């Protein structure tokens, strides 16, 4: 019984303390804390009634358009299209012209054919146009050209014989080709026979401004520096392989510029003669057996080339050359030869005089 009373007394004491604290708080003189005010103005809003609707769906894609049906068109004749009258998506119908071929190419071909026909008629000695088809052989271009060449050869031969008889010439200077024809042509053999019989000296020097290099590579002055020596080599090969030196063993011929690269290429000429020779075989020996029958001048460009030439053809087959006025010399050609260290005194003496005396029979 005593315990129960004690618990009630404790609870009452606690309740009294709580009530006292509340009273003290309510009686204080301190003012209540103020709630802070916001200076931002009130946001305006708009009220709308929600409704139900459908939104459009957009799809982005890339690609190409393709027709349902495709047809590959072609022409029965070859030509350039000059006009296309339809495009992708155009509607066409049977019999419609889709494109037109430019007729200018065909017109030009017809005109070319007509010009070729006129040229052929002229070569046959006929008028360019007309129905006259009777051909006079003497009036054909081929016969007239051959007759003119023969006449020129006869005049050259007669003129050389006359000048030789009058002691006005001791040699003849020739180009490496005649009207595009090489010197191994059969019609030139009488000329060589006559020169051999008279003891004349033929000197071959190509035209520096009229050789194959003029059209092949006109820049860099290759027509003079390279074109002339290639022409020299061609005339050496033609005279040898064409049988001129074989048919005229006493013929005296000198080739300019050391014969160009002919001596350097003599091994290849021998090889071709032995294995792949084409055309009539006119020489019984390889080409290298004939290179010492020719004379060569000393205008080869440098000492090494002259040394090679002497080793190939012999010191008795090279004569002094100047190529004047096309080649300026500082010093003179004689001083250049005398200053070469790889040449012996005897070789220099032969080049500067003795070989030329033997060639001209002085």
Q: What is residue 35's predicted lDDT score, i.e. its pLDDT?
A: 55
Q: Among candidates 247, 253, 232, 240, which has minimal Cα distance to 286?
A: 240
Res. 17 pLDDT band, cuts 50 70 90 = low
Q: What is residue 5's predicted lDDT score, i.e. its pLDDT?
A: 45
Res. 226 pLDDT band, cuts 50 70 90 = confident
State how far the alpha carbon of 318 is from the alpha carbons of 169, 257, 307, in Å: 21, 10, 11
- Is the CB of residue 319 less than 8 Å from the CB of residue 351? yes
Q: What is residue 250's predicted lDDT score, i.e. its pLDDT?
A: 92
In the predicted model, what is the mean pLDDT of residues 53-58? 82
What would the CATH number be for the domain defined by 170-360?
3.20.20.140
Range of lowest pLDDT (92-96, 100-104, 161-165): 161-165
Res. 2 pLDDT band, cuts 50 70 90 = very low
In the predicted model, what is the mean pLDDT of residues 108-130? 81
Query: Hey, how many other C-beta atoms are within 10 angstroms of the C-beta on 5?
Result: 8
Cα separation, 26 vs 28, in Å, equals: 6
Q: What is residue 6's predicted lDDT score, i.e. its pLDDT?
A: 42
Q: What is the pLDDT of residues 298-330, one digit of tens each?
A: 999 899 999 999 999 999 999 999 877 777 777
Scanning the chain, the segments in alpha helix (DSSP H) are 2-26, 104-123, 141-165, 189-198, 213-216, 222, 228-241, 244-247, 266-275, 303-313, 333-338, 345-349, 355-360
pLDDT at 8 over 70: no
Query: Hey, how many other C-beta atoms are within 10 angstroms of the C-beta on 237?
Result: 21
Q: Half-sphere exposure (CA, 13 Å, Cβ side) for 179?
A: 9
Q: What are phi and psi of 333, to 5 degrees?
A: -55, -35
Q: Among candidates 252, 253, 213, which has minimal Cα distance to 229?
A: 213
Q: What are phi and psi of 83, to 5 degrees?
A: -155, 135
Range of lowest pLDDT (26-35, 90-99, 123-132, 236-245): 26-35
Of all residues in the chain, the percent with pLDDT exceeding 70 is: 77
pLDDT at 1 over 50: no
Q: What is the pLDDT of residues 153-188, one digit of tens each?
A: 667 667 666 765 666 554 455 555 666 678 888 878
Six-digit token pair at 150? 């023969």
Of all residues in the chain, the percent with pLDDT exceeding 90 is: 24
- Is the CB of residue 222 less than 8 Å from the CB of residue 215? no
**What residue spans define the domains of the chain?**
170-360
Q: Half-sphere exposure (CA, 13 Å, Cβ side) for 101?
A: 11
Res. 58 pLDDT band, cuts 50 70 90 = confident
Q: Quote helix, strand, coil % in the chain, to nearest 5.
A: 50, 5, 45
Query: Hey, how many other C-beta atoms are within 10 angstroms of the C-beta on 242?
Result: 22
Res. 12 pLDDT band, cuts 50 70 90 = low
Cα separation, 243 vs 294, in Å, equals: 13
Q: What is the pLDDT of residues 74-83, one digit of tens each?
A: 777 777 888 8
Res. 64 pLDDT band, cuts 50 70 90 = confident
């Amino acid at each position: 019984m005593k315990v129960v009373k004690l618990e009630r007394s404790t609870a009452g004491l606690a309740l009294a303390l709580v009530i006292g604290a509340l009273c003290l708080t309510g009686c204080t003189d301190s003012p209540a804390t103020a709630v802070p005010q916001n200076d931002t103005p009130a946001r305006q809003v708009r009220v709308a009634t929600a409704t139900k609707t459908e939104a459009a769906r957009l799809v982005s894609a890339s690609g190409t358009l393709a027709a349902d049906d495709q047809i590959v068109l072609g022409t029965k004749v070859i030509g350039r299209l000059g006009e296309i009258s339809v495009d992708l998506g155009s509607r066409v119908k049977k019999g419609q012209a889709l494109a037109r071929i430019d007729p200018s190419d065909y017109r030009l071909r017809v005109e070319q054919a007509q010009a070729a026909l006129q040229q052929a008629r002229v070569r046959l000695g006929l008028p360019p146009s007309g129905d006259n088809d009777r051909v006079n052989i003497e009036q054909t271009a081929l016969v007239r050209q051959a007759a003119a060449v023969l006449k020129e050869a006869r005049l050259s031969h007669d003129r050389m014989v006359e000048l030789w008889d009058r002691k006005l010439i001791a040699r003849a200077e020739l180009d490496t080709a005649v009207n595009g024809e090489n010197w191994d042509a059969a019609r030139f053999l009488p000329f060589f026979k006559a020169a051999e019989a008279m003891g004349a000296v033929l000197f071959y020097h190509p035209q520096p401004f009229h050789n194959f290099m003029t059209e092949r590579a006109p820049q860099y002055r290759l027509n003079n520096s390279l074109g002339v020596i290639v022409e020299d080599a061609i005339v050496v090969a033609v005279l040898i392989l064409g049988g001129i030196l074989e048919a005229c063993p006493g013929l005296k011929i000198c080739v300019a510029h050391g014969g160009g690269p002919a001596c350097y290429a003599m091994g290849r000429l021998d090889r071709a003669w032995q294995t792949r020779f084409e055309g009539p075989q006119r020489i019984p020996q390889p080409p290298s057996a004939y290179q010492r029958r020719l004379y060569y001048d000393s205008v080869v460009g440098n000492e090494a080339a002259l040394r090679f030439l002497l080793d190939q053809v012999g010191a008795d087959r090279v004569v002094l050359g100047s190529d004047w006025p096309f080649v300026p010399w500082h010093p003179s050609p004689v001083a250049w030869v005398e200053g070469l260290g790889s040449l012996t005194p005897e070789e220099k003496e032969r080049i500067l005089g003795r070989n030329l005396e033997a060639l001209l029979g002085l």
